[in-house]
């Protein structure tokens, strides 16, 4: 960062710039480039702004002396009303870059730059007075969710009766292994009651007349959604205000200068007065020479680098509407991995989802108890209508419920391939068997499931998932200690042609499970942990996995040294193996390690 100084008298900056012109090209490192890009967005036309930036630089110098390893720096210099952005300035046309000056070297057309695109706007803006398409869609989805819950409840009750008939000593331990728990059935019953009330309330509000204005503004959930606010979303989300926003070409022009002109002599100085001694710095504008490169003519990689400094919300709501070229780049060519933290409001999330159309993955972070079922439905509806390529959803510190899982299956059956549940911070949800059961749907494209460290999983939920999914490629179930050999048999028998990654552990598994896993010859990663019943007698079967890249056999203390000698036989070489973990395998000796190193 360079120092800034403020003078109270008029002086010639043209003369000072000429004195400091460097004859040799100046290299701008990536760090300086990031800072310049950020500073170019600020206005320095008042004393308060410059003082604020000076204070920030001073504070940054102090911070840089501290230990900030593994911390990502923030390059935004300041966030205060004292430092307005350039687009907020009120300056005369003579003091800014004109459209002709910015576009004089552009190869694209005038429309590419200045015509505002119709982002998210529908062909017809008409909305019926008391009927909202969004309300109709929500009612349809909620009715389907109710049907899914009722179907699973029937299966649970049938399974419980069959198990009781098969054995007279169906105790708590068998419940823990086989399920479903009585509490799971109660949870389903409560979910059905909850979704029924929500459907009833929406239908009641939808049938209200114009005279019942108070009813339209009655909160339908804890997140303060009302019928009127939901109805208004159909108008607001796709409303482009019918006014073409003026492109912020001033910012783009300055970024172009900073990126592609490394010396001051590549610019000419334009002033409102030919007298250098009376030159006002506020009336001076750098104008690129005829051989300068326009920003929007830059390679896509450079534009992506510039866009990477803006949040997805800024990109889609501020920059994309400025011109057709940027709209096409941002909305269709920039694949986004969205992180939706609790810092955003419920309503901002809806508007964000309504703009982005190329989201590949999305992570919901730290919402926990705050999101109602109605809010989840509104979010998913907005996301599903604009994204057909969403393939990954991740939940981090989120309170999951069966209704939310049903909504995911309803809204993303043809695109969602991966779902990840990070370990719960406080183990808030202890009925994860229902989550796996509801994810098991043969109408979806889901093939990668991560549910490690979750609570309440039994073989009932696992079998519902395994039997009903068409394909399983990646299955992570670490610290789920109820997995049995029979479950592994069913998994490997059905998904042997597709399974590539498997992470399991459990005290119930025996050597027989290795025989079942041997059917899955396309496996690239195998993790088996905490299996005290494994003896390693058939470890030679791992030689059959010709594509194996990762092998983790940790905390299996009863495997003798002879089994490891068989596994790491010098006659077999794991050609693609890049990761090997043998934590807490106590019988391994130096000769075994030597065999591994020479493999």
307-332, pLDDT tens digit by residue?
A: 766 666 667 666 776 677 777 777 66
Does residue 363 have a pLDDT over 80?
yes
Q: Which residues contact 337 (CB under 8 A, 6 or more apart)?
A: 359, 360, 361, 362, 363
Is 547 inside any structural domain? yes
CATH number at residue 585: 3.80.10.10
Of 300, 324, 340, the residue at which a domain comes to its end is: 300
In residues, how long is the chain? 599
Is 265 inside any structural domain? yes
d(CA 306, CA 304): 5
pLDDT of residue 82: 46
Is 35 inside any structural domain? yes
Task: Check the CA dihedral 215-216-219-220 and report its sign.
Answer: positive
58-109, pLDDT tens digit by residue?
A: 655 554 444 444 444 333 333 434 455 444 444 344 444 444 444 455 555 5
Does residue 184 have a pLDDT over 60?
yes
Strands (E), 192-325: 267-270, 285-288
Residue 507 near residue 480 (C-beta atoms within 8 A): no
CB half-sphere exposure, 223, CA atoms < 13 A: 21
- How many domains does the chain fold into? 2
Does residue 9 have a pLDDT over 70?
no
Q: Which two tokens stand for residue 250?
A: 């001033």
Q: Which of 34-43, 88-97, 144-153, 489-498 has the lowest mean pLDDT?
A: 88-97
444-483, pLDDT tens digit by residue?
A: 999 999 999 998 899 999 999 999 999 999 999 999 888 9
Range of the domain at 570: 471-599
Q: Looking at the whole model, is its pTM more than 0.75?
A: no
Average pLDDT, the chain: 72
Is 185 inside any structural domain? no
Per the DSSP assignment, residues forming a β-bridge with 421 are: 395
d(CA 166, CA 160): 10
Does residue 180 have a pLDDT over 90?
no
Is 5 inside any structural domain? no
d(CA 221, CA 197): 11
Most confident of 300-309, 361-370, 418-427, 537-546: 537-546
Is 574 inside any structural domain? yes
pLDDT of residue 592: 87
Is 501 inside any structural domain? yes
Under DSSP, the state recorded for 255 is H
Q: Could you tell me the pLDDT band of residue 438, with boundaries at 50, 70 and 90?
A: very high
pLDDT of residue 273: 42
Does residue 493 have a pLDDT over 90?
yes
Is 222 inside any structural domain? no
pLDDT of residue 344: 67
Whether omega before 180 lies within 30 degrees of 0, making that bond cis, reads: yes
Q: Which helix (H) or strand (E) holds 101?
A: helix 99-103
111-123, pLDDT tens digit by residue?
A: 555 555 555 443 3
């Amino acid at each position: 960062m360079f120092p800034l100084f403020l003078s109270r008298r008029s002086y010639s900056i043209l003369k000072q710039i000429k004195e400091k012109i460097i004859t040799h090209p100046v290299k701008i490192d990536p760090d300086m480039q990031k800072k310049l890009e950020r500073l170019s967005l600020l206005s320095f036309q008042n004393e308060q702004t410059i003082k604020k930036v000076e204070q920030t630089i001073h504070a940054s110098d102090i911070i840089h002396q501290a230990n900030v390893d593994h911390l990502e720096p923030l390059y935004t210099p300041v966030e205060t009303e004292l430092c307005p952005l350039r687009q907020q300035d009120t300056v005369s046309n003579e003091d800014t870059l004109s459209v002709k000056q910015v576009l004089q070297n552009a190869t694209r057309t005038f429309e590419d730059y200045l015509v505002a695109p119709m982002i998210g706007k529908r062909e017809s803006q008409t909305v019926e007075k008391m009927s909202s398409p969004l309300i109709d869609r929500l009612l349809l989805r909620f009715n389907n969710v109710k049907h899914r819950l009722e179907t699973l409840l029937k299966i649970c009750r049938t399974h419980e009766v069959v198990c009781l008939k098969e054995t007279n000593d169906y105790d708590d331990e068998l419940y823990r292994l086989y399920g479903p728990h009585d509490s799971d059935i109660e949870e389903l019953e409560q979910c059905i009651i909850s979704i029924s009330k929500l459907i009833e309330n929406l239908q009641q509000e939808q049938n209200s007349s114009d005279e019942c204005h108070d009813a339209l503004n009655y909160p339908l959930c804890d997140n303060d959604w009302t019928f009127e606010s939901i109805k208004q979303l159909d108008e607001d989300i796709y409303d482009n205000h019918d006014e073409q926003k003026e492109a912020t070409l001033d910012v783009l022009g300055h970024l172009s200068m900073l990126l592609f002109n490394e010396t001051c002599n590549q610019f000419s100085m334009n002033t409102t007065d030919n007298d250098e001694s009376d030159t006002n710095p506020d009336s001076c504008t750098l104008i690129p020479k005829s051989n300068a490169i326009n920003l929007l003519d830059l390679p896509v990689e450079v534009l992506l680098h510039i866009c990477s400094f803006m949040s997805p919300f800024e990109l889609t709501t501020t920059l994309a509407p400025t011109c057709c070229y940027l709209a096409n780049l941002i909305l269709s060519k920039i694949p986004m991995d969205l992180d939706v933290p609790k810092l955003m409001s419920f309503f901002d999330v809806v508007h964000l989802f309504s703009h982005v159309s190329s989201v590949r993955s999305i992570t919901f972070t730290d919402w926990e108890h705050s999101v109602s079922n109605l809010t989840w439905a509104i979010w998913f509806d907005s996301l599903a209508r604009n994204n057909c390529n969403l393939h990954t959803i991740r939940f981090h510190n989120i309170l999951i419920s069966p209704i939310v899982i049903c909504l995911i299956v309803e809204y993303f059956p043809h695109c969602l391939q991966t779902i990840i549940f990070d370990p719960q911070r406080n183990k808030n949800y202890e009925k994860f068997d229902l989550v796996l059961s509801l994810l098991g749907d043969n109408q979806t494209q889901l093939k990668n499931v991560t549910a490690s460290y979750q609570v309440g999983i039994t073989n009932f939920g696992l079998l519902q998932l395994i039997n009903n999914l068409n394909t399983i490629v990646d299955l992570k179930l670490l610290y789920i200690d109820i997995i049995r050999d029979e479950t592994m048999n069913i998994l490997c028998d059905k998904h042997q042609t597709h399974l590539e990654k498997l992470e399991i552990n459990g005290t119930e598994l025996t050597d027989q499970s290795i025989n079942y896993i041997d059917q899955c010859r396309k496996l690239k990663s195998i993790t088996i942990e905490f299996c005290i019943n494994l003896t390693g007698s058939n470890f030679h079967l791992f030689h059959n996995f010709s594509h194996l890249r990762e092998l983790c056999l940790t905390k299996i203390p009863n495997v003798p040294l002879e089994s490891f000698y068989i596994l790491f036989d010098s006659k077999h070489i794991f050609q693609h193996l890049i990761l090997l973990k043998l934590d807490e395998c106590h019988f391994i000796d130096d000769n075994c390690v030597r065999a591994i190193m020479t493999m």
